[in-house]
Amino acid sequence: MLSAEALTKLPVILTYVLILGLFWLRFHRQLSCFHLCLAFGVLVAQAIMISISLLVSHQARYTQWLWVLHEEWNIPATFASTQLAWVGGCALILAIYDRQRPGVLRWYWLLFGLLFLFLGLDEFIALHESIPRWERTYALLGAAVVFFTLYVASQVSQRERFCLFGMLAGLAISVLGAFVLNLVPTQCEGFSFIRFRGCLQFYVWEEVLEFIGIWLVLVSVLATLARISTRNTLRVRNLVMSFPGIWLLILIGNSLTPRLEFPLFATPTNVQYSEGVSLIGYRIVDSTRSDASKITAVLYTTARQDAYWEKGFSLHLVDQANQTPLAWKNEWNDRQHSLWFLGAQYTPLYRQRVVVRIPTDFPSNRAFWLILALWEKSGGEFMNLPILSSELQQLSETQIVLREFVIREESVVAWPADALAYRFANGFVLRGAALPESARPGERLAIAMSWEAAAADEQDWVQFLHFVHEESGALWNHDQPPLGARMPTRLWYEGLRDTEIWEVVLPAELAPGRYAVYTGLYRLSDLARLPVQDSAGMMVADARALLGHLTIAER
């Protein structure tokens, strides 16, 4: 019985033999010696790379990642990106130097070249992940390319038409690998009348078809380029030869961009995780208004290349008052900033974007934490990595607080014309306090406190209620944040208008009689009271504003 590994390799070998034969029969007469050597060299490089990939499938984890075909940001991914970009570069050269052709043809090669440069970037950086419904967008782009190519084919000679049809055939083969084979379920132990040991690695066939398809597109463009014979021939050849090197420098530059971004945009920090991973900075991109649809955390981490494998990040939006997570996102780590040719022990600076979508029914005017955890997949399980040290607030041994925030309430509360107006020195205004006329000892009072903020304040203030017996002068007090635990004053924003229902439980031993009820704010850090003015602009004595009177009846 054959093994699944052998059944995987055999079609790959046969495919390359077939393609090589067809290439020699159909294309070698279309190409100059220079372009023929380029096309043959790329095909040989593909075959060598795929052979190594199949041979290292059981090697060390880093080596396996470095060569495996279906991984990202490694040698095959770099090769695929360069091959796509090479097609784009040759097409742009055609648009620039083929000046004797009609304008529509030059426009065709210009747009074709820009498209393949974008695809080259997308292959390495995964730009499509930021495009909503990217599959539909790419399908429309593919249809446009086919339509435009067929139109151009009707306007050119038979030889050029052959090259354009070769491009379409290459694109069809690539799409077959990228989309069709990707949908085929894994087959293990055999199917129909074929039996084998293990599971077929369809991803190998998928990637091979993508490589060969784009190679066929490249050969078709080179065949078109080969007919340009002008005084710029040497310059054209130099550009064609140098473009892969230029593209590799672009990819290396992309890998180094976090080192340039970090000092300009990141908030430095130092969070040390186990296994040598460090969070050295972060940047939060969001809007705290109620129409915000997402919060984006850009994380800057360092780790050895071989230690950054099978890891990911989790962001949670957690309600501070009840510790309930209301939105979250898990994201595998982005290793595109690795420089794989520097070895497993090289320590890059990585940039990771994690986007948390905020539900439309997300509550406003509540304090939330943006919590980060780093996890790894080990033995089929996902486990959070412990934090060894942190400059940021920790909620647990595996979670840190990146930031606290509030979603603003956009609806405007209209205060009555005769609303209470005690104005505090920091811009807070007490607009209302609904006291009952009477109560009994041990009862629960529901008091509506209405607040407005004419300015933001980053300090924590606590509101007090003083119940002062008018006959004896005895005082009983109740303290809490003005809007409760759901929204500390350090998060209040300019324009805030909100009401909190206080639940005040009166002591069972509270003496009956008439009480004057006062309120005010004091700073949590040093207990200093905040000066306050009444509606007439007069300073209130002792920074204590009178709310009204309350009669405590006999029990």
For the chain, what are the domain ranges?
A: 2-253, 266-406, 422-552
| Banded pLDDT at 2 (limits 50, 70, 90) | low
Domains 266-406 and 422-552 share a fold: yes
Please give the CATH architecture assigned to the domain spanning 422-552.
Answer: Sandwich (2.60)
Q: Is 4 a residue whose pLDDT tops 60?
A: no
Q: Is 248 a residue whose pLDDT tops 50?
A: yes
CATH of domain 266-406: 2.60.40
Q: Is 213 a residue whose pLDDT tops 60?
A: yes
Q: Is 3 a residue whose pLDDT tops 80?
A: no
Q: Is 336 a residue whose pLDDT tops 50?
A: yes
Q: Is 218 a residue whose pLDDT tops 80?
A: yes
pLDDT score, position 199: 62
Higher pLDDT residue, 47 or 505? 505
Report the mean per-residue pLDDT for the chain: 86
| Banded pLDDT at 159 (limits 50, 70, 90) | confident
CA distance to 285, 520, 529, per residue, from 547 (Å): 42, 10, 17
**Strand arrangement, sheet containing 267-273:** 349-357, 294-302, 278-286, 267-273, 387-390
Query: In terms of pTM, does the model score above 0.85?
Result: no
pLDDT score, position 290: 45
Element (H, E) at 192: none
pLDDT score, position 319: 93
pLDDT mean over 180-192 = 61
* Lowest model confidence (mean pLDDT) among 106-110, 166-170, 378-382, 511-515: 378-382
pLDDT mean over 227-234 = 66
Could you read off the pLDDT of 475-497 as tens digits, one per residue?
999 999 999 999 999 999 999 99
pLDDT score, position 291: 47
Contact 371, 316 (CB under 8 A): yes
SS3 33: helix
pLDDT score, position 549: 94
Contact 232, 97 (CB under 8 A): yes
* Lowest model confidence (mean pLDDT) among 130-139, 333-342, 486-495: 130-139
* Lowest model confidence (mean pLDDT) among 155-159, 370-374, 498-502: 155-159
| Banded pLDDT at 54 (limits 50, 70, 90) | confident
pLDDT score, position 84: 96
pLDDT score, position 487: 94
pLDDT score, position 203: 67
SS3 317: strand
Give every CB contact of residue 372 below 8 A, 6+ residues apart in sequence. 279, 282, 297, 299, 313, 314, 315, 399, 400, 401, 402
Could you read off the pLDDT of 287-311 as tens digits, one per residue?
555 446 889 999 999 999 989 988 9
Question: Can you point out the beta strands (E) in 211-276?
Answer: 267-273
